[in-house]
Amino acid sequence: MARELTVIGGGAVGLICALSAADGGWRVRVYDDGPGRRAAQVAGGMLGCLGEAHPGEEALLAASAASVARWPALLQRLGDPAVTAAENTLLVAGSAADRAYFDESVAFLRGVLPAPDAAEQTAGQLRAAEPGLARTPAGGYLLTGEGAVDNRRLLAALRAALTAAGAELIDERVTDPAAVPGDQVLVAAGLDSAGLVPGGLPGLRGEKGEILRLARTAWSVPPPRHVIRARWHSRNVYLVPREDGLVLGATQYEALDHTDRAPQAGGVADLLSDACELFPGLRTYELTEVAAGIRPMSADGLPIVTRIDRRVLVAAGHGRNGIALAPGTAAQVMDLLCTATESEERSSA
């Protein structure tokens, strides 16, 4: 008889791990306490390994690149073309200093990955690719193959795929993994994971960020086709296309606590003013959502994917890259589950 896996957490990491397990022959049940506390609900959905690369984060870059390489197969498995929001990314600099920031990031990429697809772009090339861009960018790069998913369609597609695969989705908050059924239990509850495993997860902390959603109106230019990651006035701002608008993000600063989800006026003002300079046509877009999310950051910046005891595993601390990193995490979780199954088979033989 198939073994049972219970997943605590219905965000991108929990659902993608759950789907891998269901496809691997496990009977799966997912406990989910709704979208309110979920980073994947407010996220932009960028599959960013090149655009998120920061000098000093070699191991994270390698893990992200390996995970992003698994995304095409996952998208094919889900079979919903609307989940894909963009195929490529433009890095756009506002000034010579902003341009130096990207030059350093791309030099770092080239030092770590064998052949990252990052091609230098003039201001004219950037504007030819995205006519809505400001007239004054100081150059940038085209990252071919670095795209984005629509995070909310992704979560819906994952839930549909799980239901079709016979998994049970239970809308309930879990406070104790010992109280749920299952041969194995995966805790994938973001920041809340620390309170669900014995001994907690030392170093796990929240980084808050404001993130906005804008919709095109009858007066508006079309949204961009690329993910645009800009460095503008020495601040990072990104535009991620959606079918009829875009996601505009994101600030980053230490969260007060796990409930600190009220957007701050200053963060919203900076995002809107930078984005409206970068892509002036945004001024006629409708501001449909103002939110703040909390990224679950680990102490060393790498996801925490490990076994806690014979029954409980954890997958948490995916920081800024939870969606991009989730397929790689799912592969690690499957290895941990297979090892548990093999050792139990050996001891019962």
- Chain residues in the site for ligand GLY (CB under 6 A): 44, 46, 48, 209, 249-250, 295, 320-321
**Site of tokens 């296309």:** 241
Angle at 231 between CA 203 and CA 149, to 5 degrees: 70
> Cα 271 from chain centroid?
19
Q: What is the CA radius of gyration of the chain?
A: 20
d(CA 90, CA 78): 26
Angle at 81 between CA 80 and CA 87, to 5 degrees: 140
Q: Phi first, then psi: what are they for 96, rounded to 5°?
A: -60, -35
Contact call for residues 9 and 187 (beta carbons, < 8 A): yes
**Site of tokens 């030092």:** 111
As measured in angstroms, the least distance from the Cβ of 60 to ligand GLY is 12
As measured in angstroms, the least distance from the Cβ of 115 to ligand GLY is 23
Contact call for residues 42 and 296 (beta carbons, < 8 A): no
Q: Which is nearer to ligand GLY, 250 or 278 (CB)?
A: 250
Q: Which is nearer to ligand GLY, 44 or 317 (CB)?
A: 44
As measured in angstroms, the least distance from the Cβ of 326 to ligand GLY is 13
Contact call for residues 174 and 192 (beta carbons, < 8 A): no
Contact call for residues 12 and 325 (beta carbons, < 8 A): no
Q: Which is nearer to ligand GLY, 162 or 240 (CB)?
A: 240
Q: Which is nearer to ligand GLY, 148 or 330 (CB)?
A: 148
As measured in angstroms, the least distance from the Cβ of 248 to ligand GLY is 11
Q: Which is nearer to ligand GLY, 250 or 305 (CB)?
A: 250
Q: Which is nearer to ligand GLY, 151 or 184 (CB)?
A: 151
Contact call for residues 34 and 344 (beta carbons, < 8 A): no
Q: Which is nearer to ligand GLY, 21 or 154 (CB)?
A: 154
Q: Which is nearer to ligand GLY, 183 or 260 (CB)?
A: 260
As measured in angstroms, the least distance from the Cβ of 295 to ligand GLY is 5
As measured in angstroms, the least distance from the Cβ of 103 to ligand GLY is 21
As measured in angstroms, the least distance from the Cβ of 54 to ligand GLY is 12
Strand order from edge to edge, sheet including 27-32: 168-171, 27-32, 4-8, 184-187, 312-316, 304-307
Strands, E assignment, 95-232: 118-121, 140-143, 148-149, 168-171, 184-187, 205-215, 227-232
What tokens were used for 333?
Answer: 């979780």
As measured in angstroms, the least distance from the Cβ of 249 to ligand GLY is 5
As measured in angstroms, the least distance from the Cβ of 322 to ligand GLY is 8
Q: Which of 101, 5, 82, 23 is nearest to 331 (CA)?
A: 23
Q: Which is nearer to ligand GLY, 22 or 248 (CB)?
A: 248
